[in-house]
A and B are shown apart, each in its own frame.
Chain A
Amino acid sequence: QVQLQESGPGLVKPSETLSLTCTVSGNSISSIYYWGWIRQPPGKGLEWIGSIYHSGSTYYNPSLKSRVTISVDTSKNQFSLKLSSVTAADTAVYYCARFADSPNWGQGTLVTVSS
């Protein structure tokens, strides 16, 4: 049973870079799946941030593309999200996910952007 767990700071200052890590257990990060990030601002809907394929190819939401980087660390079976130049609008619950026929998500972590 694959499990995903997000980790990272819960508070980030405006203009700084948000960094989160997703630790995967029960499945190799090198498996033939897309892995990625989703977020949900308070009281709003779900938004796909970006994905990385097992080959290392990355794909980003066009609305966030200029600020997003997703990378993989196969030695730790983890993948990471960096979102630069954050503002209050980036305050959200961030979920990491494995995109498969039956998708798997982490439990989510709230990141607040505030000084």
Chain B
Amino acid sequence: QSVLTQPPSASGTPGQRVTISCSGSSSNIGSNNVNWYQQLPGTAPKLLIYSNNQRPSGVPDRFSGSKSGTSASLAISGLQSEDEADYYCAAWDDSLNGYVFGTGTKVTVL
């Protein structure tokens, strides 16, 4: 059972901007940093954004993250076909002393 809520799907044409939301609570997003993971078909999740808006080395600057209150967002600008994947948000939860995940969003490039 996922604690963070994401839309099940999002789509766009090549070059468009797509935004994915992630809604949580005061015990997770409201008090901790948010991470985003990209999971290409058949592969392990890859860290895409950490600490709300930081990109690991090698992640294109087309990907950006933000956080406000108990919600966070991932934006993909200049959408490309290789961005078709599942995207998950995640954050530490102080009530659980554990890591909670979003429900996942499947991004389709039309």
Contact = CB atoms under 8 A, between A and B. Distances in A.
B96 A63 contact: no
B103 interface: yes
Question: Number of contact residues on A: which range applies?
Answer: 20 to 34
Contacts of B98: 36, 48, 50-51, 59-61
A102 interface: yes
Most chain A CB within 10 A, of B90, B97, B101, is at B97
A96 to B, nearest CB: 12
A103 interface: yes
A46 interface: yes
Interface string B84-102: 0000101010001111111
- For chain A, what secondary structure do more than half of its interface residues adopt (helix, strand, loop), or is it mixed? strand
B101 A48 contact: yes
Interface string A35-73: 010101000011110110000010111110000000000
A79 interface: no
A107 interface: yes
Contact of B45 (A46, A50, A99, A101): A46
8 contacts: A46-B45, A46-B90, A48-B99, A59-B97, A62-B96, A102-B47, A103-B47, A105-B47
